[in-house]
């Protein structure tokens, strides 16, 4: 049998994933039927990089800069000012609320189809300058191997991300074979309108749902309605998703810990954008995989 996870170093993490998949697919006490083999993956920092900044944020920044001349009031107003003058530190300090404000300003007042087209146009050329590749080609090979391995073993995998659902859908199938109907993300509210060209959905300047922290298990229950048996994350925003998974049996909880500053990025407890602190403690205490 060929190694299903050839990019993984031999060790506890690889062994625990392979052992888990063998247990739930082998008749016996831990067998899980196909329809319950649900796995959930955080996206930024788990399937692809979130450094130097999350990809969706970079997309928004490019749109905010393009829209700035039409919004003079953005000068002097954070997080917009930081984007216009290129102050990455101030931008990072604006945190999740700043992210939401930028998402609203950059991606609303247009139809869902227009947003999808604008995201795909940007993704077609946008490049990570450290890794020298298109963002959609920057996914982590070990994680793509896990997705393929789970798929081959009858799992249905979802992305459950703090990013917005329609942005993730613009690349998820191309980047890691996750189709739109298996993407759960943060949302902006939409408004249905009938036009002479037919029905459209207009993206409103109103955050619908923030899919982070306790929002992740809430969204998993609301949209999937099946408790996952495997969950993969990399920051404290994924903690409750792993806890919700751990409350069932059997269950596999995996934490991606970024420790390779040469080939990728190294960060954990001190990160402003994606802190891995409480989750690292919990994973250690509960003997989760990391």
Q: Which residues bind its own copies (CB under 8 A)?
A: 35, 38, 112, 156, 165-166, 169, 173, 179-181, 183, 187, 189-192, 194, 197-201, 208, 214, 217-218, 221-226, 240, 243-244, 246-247
Nearer to its own copies by Cβ, of 5 and 183: the residue is 183
| CA torsion angle 240 241 244 250 (round to 10) | -140
Least spacing, CB of residue 193 vs its own copies, in Å: 9
Nearer to its own copies by Cβ, of 61 and 188: the residue is 188
Cα–Cα nearest to 49, from 277, 274, 254, 288: 274
Least spacing, CB of residue 162 vs its own copies, in Å: 15
φ/ψ bin of 259: left (φ > 0), alpha (ψ from -120 to 50), beta (otherwise): alpha
Nearer to its own copies by Cβ, of 169 and 258: the residue is 169
Say how many C-beta atoms besides its own lie within 10 A of residue 85's C-beta. 10
Cα–Cα nearest to 65, from 108, 119, 105: 105
Distances (CA, A) of 246 to 148, 161, 241, 286: 23, 18, 9, 10
Least spacing, CB of residue 250 vs its own copies, in Å: 14
Nearer to its own copies by Cβ, of 168 and 273: the residue is 168
Nearer to its own copies by Cβ, of 87 and 277: the residue is 277
Least spacing, CB of residue 258 vs its own copies, in Å: 25
Burial code (b: 16+ CB inside 10 Å, e: under 16) for 216-245 equals bbebbeeebeebbbbbbbbbbbbbbbbbbb
Least spacing, CB of residue 189 vs its own copies, in Å: 8
Cα–Cα nearest to 66, from 106, 113, 99: 106
Nearer to its own copies by Cβ, of 80 and 288: the residue is 288
Unique residue bearing structure tokens 């940007």: 122
- Structural Rg of the chain based on CA atoms: 19
Nearer to its own copies by Cβ, of 27 and 192: the residue is 192
Least spacing, CB of residue 242 vs its own copies, in Å: 9
Nearest 5°: the CA angle 40, 254, 235 is 80
Nearer to its own copies by Cβ, of 87 and 174: the residue is 174
Least spacing, CB of residue 255 vs its own copies, in Å: 16
From first CA to last CA, the distance across the chain in angstroms is 25
Least spacing, CB of residue 226 vs its own copies, in Å: 5
**Environment class of residue 157 by beta-carbon count within 10 Å: exposed (0-12), middle (13-18) or buried (19+)?**
buried
């Amino acid at each position: 049998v060929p190694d299903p996870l050839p990019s993984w170093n031999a060790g506890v993490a690889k062994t625990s994933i392979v052992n888990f998949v063998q247990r739930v697919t082998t008749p016996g006490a831990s067998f899980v039927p196909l329809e319950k083999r649900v796995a959930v993956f955080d996206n930024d920092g788990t399937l692809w990089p979130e450094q130097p900044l999350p990809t969706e944020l970079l997309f928004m920044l490019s749109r905010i800069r393009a829209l700035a001349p039409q919004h003079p009031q953005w000068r002097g107003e954070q997080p917009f000012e930081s984007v216009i003058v290129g102050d990455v530190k101030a931008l990072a300090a604006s945190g999740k609320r700043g992210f939401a404000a930028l998402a609203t300003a950059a991606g609303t007042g247009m139809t869902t189809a227009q947003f999808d087209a604008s995201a795909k146009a940007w993704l077609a050329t946008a490049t990570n300058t450290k890794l020298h590749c298109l963002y959609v080609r920057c996914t982590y090979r070990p994680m793509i191997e896990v997705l393929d391995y789970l798929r081959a073993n009858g799992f249905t995998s979802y992305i459950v991300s703090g990013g917005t659902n329609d942005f993730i859908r613009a690349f998820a199938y191309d980047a890691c074979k996750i189709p739109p109907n298996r993407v759960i993300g943060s949302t902006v509210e939409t408004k249905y309108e009938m036009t002479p060209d037919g029905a459209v959905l207009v993206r409103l300047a109103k955050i619908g749902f923030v899919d982070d922290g306790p929002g992740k298990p809430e969204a998993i229950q609301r949209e999937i309605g099946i408790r996952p048996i495997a969950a993969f994350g990399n920051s404290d925003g994924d903690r409750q998703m792993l806890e919700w998974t751990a409350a069932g049996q059997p269950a596999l909880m995996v934490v991606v810990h970024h420790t390779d500053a040469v080939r990728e990025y190294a960060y954990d407890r001190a990160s402003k954008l994606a802190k891995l602190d409480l989750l690292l403690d919990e994973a250690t205490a509960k003997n989760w995989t990391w």
